Structure 1
Amino acid sequence: MKTPELKTGRFIPEDGLRVTVQVPETHVQRIVDAVLAVSTLKYGDYDRVTFQTSAGTQSFRSLGSGRNAATEAAVEVPCVELSFFLGREDAGAAQVLESVYASHPYEEPVIYVAPSLRTLHIRGMDEDNPNRFWNSAPEDWVPDAHR
């Protein structure tokens, strides 16, 4: 699929990769730490930008051709999805993915890598917008450092 050309004075489009990893929640931080050892996960004026979903259920059946014995039926494991964007300036995608493999508890981690387009704000623009959190009473989700 061809990415649309987005010409605007409001943001800067940048192509890269969106990486999504399914992982048991107790192992998320280990994977994030491994990725951050090779990439800053920079997103405009921020870094270490990741997203984690609430827990869902991953199911699979071992075919017995790998390390684990074959299973008769599918098994279920509670997992979350961890996702992040790798821009052109980030460490090589192969190096980042190798860090995920090295830190993931599975033999065959479920990892999706998709071409993606992100939009980066133009610094200093629209700062008086009443919808920006700093232009209103702080909500609970606003970090203390930004109040």
Structure 2
Amino acid sequence: MNSTIQLDNLELKSARLEAELRITVQCPSGGVPALIDALGEYLPLVQGTYDHCLYVRQNGYQRFRALEGSHAGPENTIQTTDANEIVFTIPFDHDLLAKAFDVIFTYGVNEEPTIHIEQIWGSRSKYLDDKDNPNRYWNRPDADELHGSPGPVSPNKDSDD
């Protein structure tokens, strides 16, 4: 990894660090549900003992004008549409990155999606024996809210189940 910060051997009590790729995709709000379902189905969005891990930034908008050669053809107006950013990480692997692009171009609604890729360090918990820690979500009165609500789960196409 080309980085000015070398963290390979950093010793942390509660976590370890892994080199990974952070991918950010801008998507019109109406296209987000189908794209995040497909990302979770076709990519190993794993963080520790969790999968389907991604983050959606809401309440943005995209601004553009279609030019000659676009599906819409040349337009004389600048368009805006409500949009979100979908952020996820994958291991540093060229084949997996190519698969991510395939999923985005297949299931995304834009013909020219805005995709940013960054090399980063991500933390992974060492799962300390702190089940009695009063700050953990399961020990708090708002545990249900913090843990979230159930949503649809798509089986991973690459699983052996």
Q: Do the two structures share a fold, i.e. TM-score over 0.5?
A: yes
Matches within 5 A, 1:25-40: 25-40=29-44
2:147 match: secondary structure: coil
Task: Write out per-residue CA displacement over residues 13-71 of structure 1, whole angstroms, 9 at most, x where no aligned residue.
Answer: 01111111111222112112222332130101100011111221110112223332122
2:70 match: secondary structure: coil
CA contact (8 A) 1:40 1:48 kept: yes
User: What's the TM-score once normalised by structure 1's chain length?
Assistant: 0.85
Aligned to 1:2: 4
- Find out whether 1:84 has 2:62 as its counterpart: no
1:33 match: secondary structure: helix
2:98 match: secondary structure: helix
Aligned to 1:142: 147
Which of 120, 126, 141 in structure 1 is aligned with 2:124? 120
Cα drift, residue 144 of structure 1:
6.7
Cα drift, residue 141 of structure 1:
3.1
1:118 match: secondary structure: strand
How many angstroms apart in 1 are the aligned matches of 2:38 and 2:142? 33
Aligned residues: 145
CA contact (8 A) 2:44 2:90 kept: no
User: What's the TM-score once normalised by structure 2's chain length?
Assistant: 0.78
| Aligned CA distance change for structure 1 residues 108 and 129 (closer, same or farther; 3 Å) | same
Identity %: 24
Aligned to 1:16: 20
How many angstroms apart in 2 are the aligned matches of 1:47 and 1:69? 40
Aligned to 1:72: 76
Residue ranges of structure 2 left out of the alignment (5+ in a row)? 151-161
Residue ranges of structure 1 left out of the alignment (5+ in a row)? none
